[in-house]
Structure 1
Amino acid sequence: MTFVQLIDCKTSRFDEMNRLMDRWVEQTKGKRTATHDVIGKDRDDASHFVEIVEFPSYEEAMRNSGLPETDRIFQEMVALCDGEPTFTNLDVVRDEQLNADTARRFFEVLSGQEGLLPLDDLVDEDYHDHDPANDQDTRGRDGVRREMEMWREAFDFSVRIEDQIAQGDRVCTRWSWDATHTGEFLGLRPTGRKVSMTGTTIFRFGGGGKIVEGWWQYDRLGLMAQLGALDDLEI
């Protein structure tokens, strides 16, 4: 994100304006350059609204403004406002996705040489973990710490972040995991084998900025096959 536009207006006809915006979204499909649109209502003045529109650049914002559909909708929007709306054009000089940064830090701590104490700053005390490879969900920060310790004692590994998508109170991370089997894992003695897998984790964040819930998807069966645990099975 490099540019945002703030549109400040007052209206007693917001429902009509909302329908107008729906029409603009429909009419500009495949043409508009806006990437994100948020409208906020003033808690102290129910007629006061601020719209925040995100663009890849100032030039793209101007191209969006030049669309015939945008011009028509703007004229109708002005007619619904109590006075002329004001515009503020902002070049973004800092853009911190705090939840995404916390999720990234989680994986850094997980695969780092330091201990797991930093998890206290990242994971809520009442954290709830969903891992389909486990018989039961893991609950509590201490529970997830024990789960992480099991992996760290069994493997010398690193985690690489491939993609992250943040939306609302959730962050989705696609990761790659490369490891050497150095300790006992689910009854398997250390094999010294090099193994790898990929996975996806969705974290939900609470109001305090800590991770309160997690959902994991990864190929543990494929990992067991790499470790030789399936060699004697007849299929």
Structure 2
Amino acid sequence: MTFVQLIDCRTDRFDEMNRLMDKWVEQTKGKRTATHDVIGRDRSDGSHFVEIVEFPSYDEAMRNSHLPETGRIYEEMVALCDGPPVFTDLDVVRDEQLNVLVARAFFTAMGRTPPDRIVDQLTDDYVDHDPSYPRPVQGRDGIRAVLEGWYGAFDFSFRVDDQMAEDDRVCSRWTWTAHHKGEFLGIPATGQDVSMQGMTWQRFRGGRICESHWMYDRAGLMEQLGVLGD
């Protein structure tokens, strides 16, 4: 179970504390078990700070606390604070990256849901980047036309294999499997079962996808369709 530690403190020497944190990061390379660190300043009290440190588990947090470097940095941190920091230990009982859920739903729906419903998950000014396009596709109507082409050529589905999120961006690694049932780029239906792997980087705004960058092996797909050979 993921574990989070909140460190609540007051200091008028945040610049020094910030340098102290950089020092800890450098000294604990290859040793620390912390996976994510966020420090927030209270908007109503500029000397009040809360640090949020994430660990894979409570046991990993304890391993991190027992590092000699952590102990030394803690002593220096206390010296910079107006009083002893207050620690709150939390077991994470729910952790949802909301944009990740939207991205997963987008891929799950592809091939199984009509294009009109797929584009409902996109912003009006959506931009789609694909290395096989001569230029980016703009807007819902543009991407709807692209989807209709794929739907007409293949019965297909996506399997999401891995996802990572940062700020307003999500990257999904996926596997696409399909049955070639109609014309595709001038290639008549072959009845061939095909697959590709790829990744899609997506940016979100207001809970909808506003931009996508696609990377996949189209040459491998063409080879499976018998267009490219040795």
Given the two structures, how large is their TM-score scaled by the length of structure 1? 0.93
Q: CA RMSD in A?
A: 1.5
Is 2:7 aligned against 1:45? no
Residue 216 of structure 1: how far off its partner (Å): 0.5
Residue identity opposite 2:213 in structure 1 = W
Aligned equivalent of 1:74: 74
Aligned equivalent of 2:123: 124
Equivalences for residues 1-235 of structure 1 within 5 A: 2-112=2-112, 114-206=113-205, 208-230=206-228
In 2 relative to 1, CA 97–116 (structure 1 residues): closer, same or farther, beyond 3 Å? same
1:9–1:84 CA contact under 8 A, matched in 2: yes
Q: Deviation string for 1:55-88 (max 9, x for gaps)?
A: 1111111121111111110111111112221111
Q: Larger deviation: 16-25 or 186-195?
A: 186-195
In percent, how many aligned pairs have the same letter? 65
Residue 120 of structure 1: how far off its partner (Å): 4.7
Residue identity opposite 1:146 in structure 2 = A
Residue 18 of structure 1: how far off its partner (Å): 0.5
Residue 229 of structure 1: how far off its partner (Å): 2.4
Q: Using the alignment, how far apart are the partners of 1:189 and 1:120 within structure 2?
A: 27
Q: Which runs of 5+ in 1 are unaligned?
A: none
Residue identity opposite 2:215 in structure 1 = Q
Residue identity opposite 2:179 in structure 1 = T
Q: Using the alignment, how far apart are the partners of 1:196 and 1:59 within structure 2?
A: 42
Residue 143 of structure 1: how far off its partner (Å): 1.6
2:24–2:70 CA contact under 8 A, matched in 1: yes
1:109–1:116 CA contact under 8 A, matched in 2: no
Residue 121 of structure 1: how far off its partner (Å): 4.5
Q: Deviation string for 1:185-228 (max 9, x for gaps)?
A: 1122111111111111100112x121111100111122122212
In 2 relative to 1, CA 139–67 (structure 1 residues): closer, same or farther, beyond 3 Å? same
1:17–1:77 CA contact under 8 A, matched in 2: yes
Given the two structures, how large is their TM-score scaled by the length of structure 2? 0.95
Tell me the matched-pair count.
230
Q: Using the alignment, how far apart are the partners of 1:119 and 1:154 within structure 2?
A: 17
Q: Using the alignment, how far apart are the partners of 1:189 and 1:119 within structure 2?
A: 26
2:119–2:143 CA contact under 8 A, matched in 1: no
Q: Using the alignment, how far apart are the partners of 2:225 and 2:41 within structure 1?
A: 56
Q: Using the alignment, how far apart are the partners of 2:47 and 2:121 within structure 1?
A: 39
Residue 129 of structure 1: how far off its partner (Å): 0.8
Residue identity opposite 1:47 in structure 2 = S
In 2 relative to 1, CA 119–41 (structure 1 residues): closer, same or farther, beyond 3 Å? farther
* Over 4 Å off, 4+ runs: none
Residue 173 of structure 1: how far off its partner (Å): 0.9
Q: Using the alignment, how far apart are the partners of 1:98 and 1:229 within structure 2?
A: 41
